[in-house]
Each structure stands twice: as structure tokens, then as C-alpha cells.
A and B are shown apart, each in its own frame.
Chain A
Amino acid sequence: MTGQPALLDLRAVSKHFTRKPDFAERLAIRLGAPEPPVVRAVEDVSLEVAEGQAVGLVGESGCGKSTLGRIVAGVHARTSGQLWYRGREDRAFTAEEARRTQIEIQMIFQDPMNSLNPRMRVADIIGEAPVVHGLFPSRERVQRVGALMREVGLDPAYARRFPHQFSGGQRQRIGIARALAVEPRFLVCDESVAALDVSIQAQVLNLFMDLRERRGLTYLFISHDLGVVRHLTDRVAIMYLGRLVEDGPTREIFAGPNHPYTRALLAGAPRIGRGRQTFTALKGELPSPINPPPGCPFHTRCPHVFARCRSEMPRLRPVASGRLSACHLNDQA
């Protein structure tokens, strides 16, 4: 990590989802019934992202990676913890700072069919937000939208079309152009290439790399696809059951993962060129985030589990320069 303050700094962020009890349930709780269950989607996550960095956030379904991304993009409010952006805590933001941060952090979703309004023309989808925010006057709209469409590899002649008239890859490009329209500095990409075919996925990944170079963007790239993350990011953070278990430079983690879960993830992913593989699969499944196991969240599936893992939560601690891992095994060596 660099000496300058991080662009984004999450400090012990947690997000719990609960259901508000209705009247009868409140009554029942008064009479001694248990409270409705709490889903601990994100638990005590600290993560720094430096300006210009591309950070990957990896984990399996239900690990909280999308929830964390949504907290960063301001879609979800966090339950506890702090979010610092450009060296300021968001609770201390002035109204102008809050507005600017909202615009600077943009999100690109997985399924462009569900994130684009099917009744709006592409020109309006891309051109609405910047005009509302006063980034350019509406008379320049046609020309600006055209430039944005060209930048993401779409023909400006299609500006009057609706989203359903485009293919999946083109729709994803519309979503990217919409995000770029407000001149963001930070893109949160939530499984943004997961729904695309391999040949189209490669085109969109190349576009992400070009944009990073051209616009100096910072990325939080959320994905379950290790190949994509390895290709695109400088640093990677691995989540398991709402917690970060490992964090470090992408190249180093892929070359030598520290945490047993990271090791299992890397070993379990089929990769081209490995030939016929026999999988020595990780046993068991992800425990529920409603009742996370005591101690290390991974101890129920870990091949190296020992007594301490069942009772004591391992802290995320430095294991090498720039590398963090949360595993008791590191104390034993």
C-alpha cells in the first residue's frame, strides 16, 4: 500500500439484516418469544483502496461480497463501522461532499436487463443523470451521449433504441456508459461479466482495462470468478461468511495463498491447461450467516482445524509485507 491516504477506507464495517417484527410478534417478544433472526451479511470488514488501484473482492454466494459493494456504492446503509472517502468520514460530509461522493462512486451490475429501464431509450438512460447533476447542459446531450457510446464501443446511431434491442454484451456496455456519464472516479463492478459468454466477456474485460488506463479509474471488482479477478486486479480480498479472511497483492496470493479457504478456492477452480483433474474437494458447505459457528467461521470445513479454531476467532493480521490473513495456523510456525 502507498503512503498517501486511501481513496476509500472501510473501518470495521458490519451489515446486519433483520426483519422488523409486526405487532403480534412484538407482543410475543414482550412475552418472552425469541427476537427475529439477524443475518450477519458483513461482519467487521476493514478494507483500504488506494486511488487508481483495482481491488478484487472474491467469495462464494452468501459471503457478503455484494452487500459490501452496495455499502461502498451507498445502496445499503451499514449497521456499524466507518466509511472514509478522500480522507473524510462520510458522517462528517457536508451536503456538497455527500453529493459528490455519490456521483464519484458508480456501480455496474451483473444483469444489464434488470438494471436498465426497459421503457427508456439508450440516449435517455445514459444522458439523464449528467443533465440532472448539471455536468453538461441538455442541449449538448446528443453529442455527449454519442461520445460516451463510442467510448464503450457502441454505435451512436443506436441512441434512439431501447435496451431489449441489444445483445447481452451491448447491454452491459450501455450500463457502463451510464456509469461513466457522471465522470466517476470509483467503479464498483458487481459480477459485471458473469452473465456474458466467454468471447463477449473478453471484450468487456478489455474495455474495463482500457477505461482504467484512459480515465485513471479505481475499481472494486466483485466476482466469484478467480480467473477474471486474477486478470484484472492488483489486490484481492477474500471473504468468507461475512468476514475478510485474506487480503494481499493478487499475484502473491495466487502464487502462494495463506488462508486454508483461499487455498481450497484456488485448488477447486478448474483452469485451462491443467489437464484432467481430480478434485480433492473441500468438505461441507457454507454455514448460515444467521448462526455463524463460534471461533473461526471456516473451522467447520477446514482440513487443518484444531481446538483453538473452535473457540477463538482469528484476527486479520499481517503475515508478510502487504499481506493479511486470519488464521491461527500462522501463530504456530
Chain B
Amino acid sequence: MTALLEVTGLKTHFLTRAGAVRAVDGVDLTLRAGEVLGLVGESGSGKSVTSFSILGLVDPPGKVVGGSVRFKGEDLIQASPERLRQLRGRDIAMIFQDPMLTLTPVLRIETQMVETVLAHERTSYAGARERALDMLARVGIPAPQERIRAYPHQFSGGMRQRVAIAIAMLHGPSLILADEPTTALDVTIQGQVLSEMQRLVAETGTAMIWVSHDLAVVEAIADRIIVMYAGRVVEEGPVAEVIARPGHPYTRGLLDSTPSAATPGGRLRQIPGMAPSVLNLPPGCPFAPRCAHVRPECSTPPPVRRLGPERTVRCFAPLIPEVGQ
């Protein structure tokens, strides 16, 4: 089994005057070709910074201070800026939450898409335009012949996100990093975009990391899930198993906090307190101060325990039994 992407011990810190903010602190993840991985966590859990770090998109004062990111065997942390530029947009593409901020407002969609094609390939303008039209049609934009002449502000939010997806798919990347791509969309439009994404990644065999705070969306689209808390991975496994039987108290807490899963009208079983600042994290489990199952040993770094063939949890007292070593 060869991994398409293998992240080991990734550490991204933001060096501020107040000290080092450990936004990502020792994240491991692997992704096989064609797999959809959901990366879930609340604000400040490090899920977005993890995906930015993979593509080398962390700006100062942020810095990847440790670990490796192997994409098809090549370490992207050590890669030169030229090499990263070759990979970005061609082999690894990214889709952001707000397409209004990722599309240039002053250029027509046509210019932006043709530029993307020509950045990585020697082909004629007409050929590039043909590819762009084809891709716009595939992501479900009606009348692409006319719409390609439009500017981003002439599209609705859902349509803009489709344009962003079309641009990401132009070179048939083997990995797409999607950072909350449907969060800003309405329910019916989110449904449309999710179904397009499902179809496209299945058709093309593209692997995807879907970063989201929304467990329900991740359950709907992902094969595997990674739950992050305070810059660390706390749980990992096949999405259906993790949601049916979470192993980490934090995952359990997230599920209990989601109104759609609870009985209507009843009190939600809330997680007390709030997420810690990643500026001065004490050693030990970062979730311990909010955890109902806390024990004395939780003040030391928790071990990674195996809960199944593909399931791990970082906890002294997992909610489901460990499998034999």
C-alpha cells in the first residue's frame, strides 16, 4: 500500500512576541490515491494550518518547524519554491472557503482559467479555452460559452465556488485540499456543490482532504476522518465507525453538541469550558480540563492507542476498548 500523501510529525508554529503559538503540533496523516479524508475540528484546532502547511502556504510569522510532508515520495518541506510552484495547481490544488477572495475581481473568468492552464502547459490559447469551457460544463455551470466571459462578481456564491472548483480540476490534480468549501453556502446550494464534488472525485479518482467544522458534511462525503484539537490529532478512523462509536471523549462531546443528533427539545450534553489557547499549552492532554473522564495521568502526554485495524485515538482512557497489540 503506497500512500499518496504522508505527513509525519508536522509542526507549524507562529513565532509571535508573546511566544510560539503551536498551531499544529505533531500531526501525522496518510492519504491513499482516490481517498477522501475529512479533517475536522473547531476554530483554532489547526485544521486549516495543517492543509496550508502541506502546500507550503504558511506565511510568516508562521513556520513549519518540524516533520515531513511526503507527496508521492517527495518531501515538500524540503522542496524549492520553484518545485512547489510546479506542483501547486497541477498536482495539488486547493479550494478555499470564500471564492470571492480567491478569484481576481478584475479579470474575466476566461482570463483566469486560461492563465491557469498555460501556467503549467504549453498549449494554444484556443486549446486552453476549450479545456476551461469543458471544465465549467462539468461542474454544472449553465451556458459556459457565455458565462466564461463574465467577471466573478456576476456569479452567485454557489456558482463562484463552482468556478473555483473548475479551476482546481483543470489539470486533473491527484490531490485536492478543500478548506471549508461549502461553509458559506446555503443548504440547497451546498447540496448541489457536494454532489458535484462527489461525482468529480469519483470520476477522476482524485484524492481529497476536506477540512470542515461540520461533522455532518464530513460524514456525507469522506471515507476517513481525522479529528483535531489544539493542534493535535485526537482521533482517526473510517468515518462511519468513528461517528457511530467515537473513541475520544472530545469526539463524543462534538457529536453530543450537535443539535441534529440529539433528541429535539432536550438539553444538549455540552462540553464545559472552551478550547485552550495554543500559546501556552500545558504538557499532557490538551482536552483534560474539559474532559469528563479525566484521570491523574492525563497531565502527561497521552499515548496513541489502536482501537481497530484503521482506528487510533490519543487518549489514556478511550471510550471503546483497545485491540490487542
Contacts and interface: CB of A to CB of B under 8 A. Distances in A.
A279 B42 contact: no
Nearest to A195: B43
A251 B156 CA distance: 33
Contact of B156 (A201, A227, A279, A285): A285
Interface stretch (B2-10, B93-101, B191-199): B191-199
B205 to A, nearest CB: 17
A304 interface: no
- Residue from B42, B192, B215, B258 having most chain A Cβ neighbours under 10 A: B258
A265 B261 CA distance: 17
A226 B260 contact: yes
Given A231-B264, A276-B220, A60 B188 contact: yes
A6 interface: no
Contact of A226 (B187, B215, B271): B187
B58 to A, nearest CB: 22
A273 B243 contact: yes
B274 interface: yes
A279 B195 CA distance: 5
B255 interface: yes
A270 B265 CA distance: 20
B187 A265 contact: yes
B260 A271 contact: yes
B257 interface: yes
Interface string B151-182: 00000111100000000000000000000000
A231 B157 CA distance: 28
B267 A198 contact: no
A250 B264 contact: yes
Give chain B's interface secondary structure class: helix
B256 interface: yes
B262 interface: yes
Contacts, number: 142
A254 B263 CA distance: 13
A59 to B, nearest CB: 9
Contacts of B157: 61
B274 A169 contact: yes
Given A227-B260, A285-B158, A198 B187 contact: no
Interface stretch (A141-149, A202-210, A312-320, A321-329): A202-210
A38 interface: no
A203 B239 CA distance: 25
A230 B264 contact: yes
Contacts of B267: 206, 209
Given A197-B275, A274-B220, A275-B240, A224 B260 contact: no
Interface string B246-285: 0000000111111111101101111110110000000000
The 3 closest A-B pairs by CB, nearest first: A227-B260, A202-B257, A268-B191
Interface of A: 60-61, 167-169, 197-203, 205-206, 209, 224-228, 230-232, 250-251, 254, 264-265, 267-282, 285-286
Interface of B: 42-43, 156-159, 186-192, 194-195, 198, 213-217, 219-221, 239-240, 243, 253-262, 264-265, 267-272, 274-275
